[in-house]
Amino acid sequence: MNAIEIKETLKSGGAVFGMMLTASRSPRWAKTYAQSGLDYIIIDTEHTPRSRSEVADLLAAFETTNVAPIVRIPIPSSHYVTMNLDAGAQGILAPYCETIEEVKETVAAAKWRPLKGEIVKQVIEKNVFPSTASKEYLEQRNANTICIIGIESVPAIENLNNILDIDGIDAIFVGPNDLSISLGVPNEYEHPIYEEALEKIIDICTKKNTPVMIHHQTVELTKRWLSKGVKFVLHSTDTRGIHNAIQSDFSNIKESVGTIESAETI
């Protein structure tokens, strides 16, 4: 899928599926992920030491696939938004947003690039454009861009209704680790306090027709929240996926060794 197809699928009530890339750097990985049935991937630059050129190479590789590359930028800043979109990203995920100002800056850069400064401020706050021609040009230029806002703290949840009043947000992202710490129940993803917070986020977003993405690491948790309406599915990471596959294969192989040795002693 490309970004437009992802947005259309979500709008029609369908689900899309992706994974977070935290370690993969070689562009050769793009083909592997494309053959795995993913609709999109998120290249993490918040918690991983990727260089700008490494990200650009990955983005170029994914251009040859049917997997939409989205970049999680380090902070909600227009500089990082435009830098990654200019490099070929089909979307950005801005982490840990709490204020209207942060979200406006992020959305303005994602949806109305390359406008900057006072002009884009007039667009995002007053819907005033330099001209009708400029508006139509920018809408077409940025149509294949997804803007995802990270809601990962108690203050962010408290401000979520106001945040969603900003036009141009395509989805809300929840980082379970950060959110659970903010709630006082670190990594307790079945704790009632954590579950109530997620349900509140989903309820608010549903009323505003905004998809929710929650980055859980186990199949059980991902399936649980999929059943509760989370259709923008972000499951696990490349490192965890590789670890699980290797562990599963070799556990199976080692069991066979034991079975063979037992048979030989009979």
Distances in Å between the Cα of 244 and the Cα atoms of 116, 144, 237 are: 45, 33, 11
| Cα distance between residue 224 and residue 219, in whole Å | 8
User: Among candidates 42, 21, 36, which has minimal Cα distance to 146?
Assistant: 42
Model confidence pLDDT, tens digit, residues 75-117: 999 999 999 999 999 999 999 999 999 999 999 999 999 999 9
**Can you give the CATH number for the domain in which 196 is found?**
3.20.20.60
> Which residue in the block uniquely carries the two structure tokens 């108690």?
154
| Cα distance between residue 25 and residue 108, in whole Å | 29
Range of 147's domain? 3-264
pTM of the entire structure?
A: 0.94
Residue 9 DSSP SS3: helix
The total of structural domains in the chain comes to 1
Model confidence pLDDT, tens digit, residues 225-249: 999 999 999 999 999 999 999 999 9
Distances in Å between the Cα of 77 and the Cα atoms of 17, 98, 118, 159 are: 26, 13, 16, 19
